[in-house]
């Protein structure tokens, strides 16, 4: 009897302390995140005039408009193209660098510092300097090209290559982040695996494919999922690099860029909300597919 009341007192005390500790976070999450999700869904059923005036209920009309809006589908395709360039390259290059740094190498921390440096720069500044490097008349890149006898390239005003130029900035910015995660993953692979492989006469490249790649696959999965989600939300570099009169804007603007444009420049928060709902749907779909596919290639030992 005595013991039972002691247990239940303990339970009550855990309950009270638990909720006390959770209170700020849960209150914040509900007010800042959970309610806004429903508000955004609700908002997407309205047409909002300029400056938020005249919130008119229009049911699913925004979604109807969304499906027939070529700009939105183009933006979705632009976003996917961006992700298809940024994600594989940023991951492959970062993994290569991380593998090099994990071997016998001098000045490891210096290399790491350099490759991580873009991560600590403000994206607005990064986009501005790249825009300057890409400048078709006076930019450093075209100057180098002309110096080698080629003609200059319209890096960010040619609709066919502008998305690649923007993705290069994305790759450059995020390599350091991926590298740090891969490096942490590589450190957990026991050294004797490689020593055993060496005795068996396996060279570096076959060691990479038979030891490193399978054992790093959980990290690889994590980095891929988060990078895909991040790339699908690309905004900063497009907003900063593509001027509004840029002829390539239509072929590079992302879903989030359109969301920002409709919601905060044109003041149509209803349509903006329906765009962000589309984004949510696409990201959830891609993530679910990735979760499903992980059984095929991710190796949890």
Partner 1 sequence: MDKNRKIKSGIIYLILVIGSVIMLVPFLWMFLTAFKSTSEATQMNPFIIFPTVWRKEAFLSVVSKMNFLRLYWNTLLLIVERVICAVLTATMAGYAFGRLHFRGKNLAFSLVLFQMMVPSQIFIIPQYLMVSRLGMLNTSFGLLFPGLVTAFGTFLLRQAYMGLPSSLEEAARLDGCNIGQTFLYVMAPLTKSSMVALGIFTALFGFKELMWPLVVNTEQNTMPLSAALAKLQGQFETNYPELMAASLLACIPMIIIYLIFQKQFIEGIATSGGKL
Question: Under rule CB under 8 A, which residues in 171-230 are in contact with partner 1?
Answer: 172, 175-177, 180-181, 183-185, 204, 219, 222, 226, 229
Per-residue tokens: 111 = 């290399």
Q: DSSP label at 210?
A: I
To the nearest 10 degrees (0 to 180), the angle between helices 70-102 and 213-232 is: 150
Instruction: Tell me the Ramachandran region of residue 201: left when phi exceeds 0, alpha when psi lies from -120 to 50, beta otherwise.
Output: left
Residue 69, helix vs strand vs coil: coil
Residue 248 beta carbon to partner 1: minimum distance, rounded to whole angstroms: 16
**Residue 124: CA count within 13 A, CB half-sphere:** 0
The one among 61, 239, 250, 298 contacting partner 1 by CB under 8 A = 239
Closest CA to 253 of 152, 166, 139: 166
Residue 129 beta carbon to partner 1: minimum distance, rounded to whole angstroms: 5
Nearer to partner 1, 160 or 180 (CB): 180
Restricting to residues 97-126, which ones interact with partner 1 according to CB under 8 A?
97, 100, 103-105, 109, 111-126
The one among 58, 80, 84, 96 contacting partner 1 by CB under 8 A = 96
Residue 136 near residue 154, CB atoms below 8 Å: yes
Nearer to partner 1, 202 or 229 (CB): 229
Residue 109, CA distances (Å) to 91, 184, 185, 240, 249 in order: 20, 13, 17, 32, 40
Nearer to partner 1, 63 or 111 (CB): 111
Question: Residue 119 burial by CB count (10 A; 0-12/13-18/19+): exposed, middle or buried?
Answer: middle
Q: DSSP label at 264?
A: I
Restricting to residues 270-289, which ones interact with partner 1 according to CB under 8 A?
272-273, 276-277, 279-280, 283-284, 287
Nearer to partner 1, 99 or 163 (CB): 99
Nearer to partner 1, 149 or 160 (CB): 149
Restricting to residues 15-54, which ones interact with partner 1 according to CB under 8 A?
15, 17-19, 21-22, 24-37, 39-40, 43
Residues binding partner 1: number (CB under 8 A): 97
Residue 228 beta carbon to partner 1: minimum distance, rounded to whole angstroms: 12
Residue 185 near residue 266, CB atoms below 8 Å: no
């Amino acid at each position: 009897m005595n013991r039972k009341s002691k247990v239940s007192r303990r339970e009550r005390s855990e309950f009270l302390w638990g909720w006390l500790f959770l209170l700020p976070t849960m209150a914040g999450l509900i007010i800042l995140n959970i309610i806004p999700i429903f508000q955004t869904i609700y908002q997407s059923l309205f047409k909002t005039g300029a400056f938020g005036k005249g919130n008119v209920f229009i049911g699913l009309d925004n979604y109807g408009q969304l499906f027939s809006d070529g700009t939105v589908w183009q933006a979705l395709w632009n976003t996917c193209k961006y992700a298809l360039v940024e994600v594989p390259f940023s991951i492959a290059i970062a993994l290569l660098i991380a593998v090099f740094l994990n071997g016998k190498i001098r000045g490891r921390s210096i290399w790491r510092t350099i490759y991580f440096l873009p991560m600590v720069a403000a994206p607005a500044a990064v986009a501005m300097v790249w825009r300057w490097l890409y400048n078709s008349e006076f930019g450093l890149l075209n100057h180098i090209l002309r110096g080698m006898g080629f003609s200059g390239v319209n890096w960010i005003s040619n609709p066919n290559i502008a998305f690649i130029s923007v993705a290069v900035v994305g790759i450059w910015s995020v390599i350091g982040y991926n590298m740090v995660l891969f490096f942490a993953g590589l450190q957990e692979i026991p050294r004797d695996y490689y020593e055993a492989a060496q005795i068996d006469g396996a060279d570096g490249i076959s060691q990479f494919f038979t030891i490193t790649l399978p054992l790093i696959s959980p990290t690889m999965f994590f980095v891929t999922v988060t990078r895909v989600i991040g790339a699908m939300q690309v905004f900063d570099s497009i907003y900063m690099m593509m001027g509004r009169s840029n002829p390539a804007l239509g072929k590079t603007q992302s879903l989030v860029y359109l969301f920002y444009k409709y919601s905060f420049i044109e003041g149509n928060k209803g349509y903006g909300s329906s765009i962000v709902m589309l984004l949510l749907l696409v990201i959830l779909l891609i993530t679910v597919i990735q979760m499903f596919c992980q059984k095929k290639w991710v190796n949890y030992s």
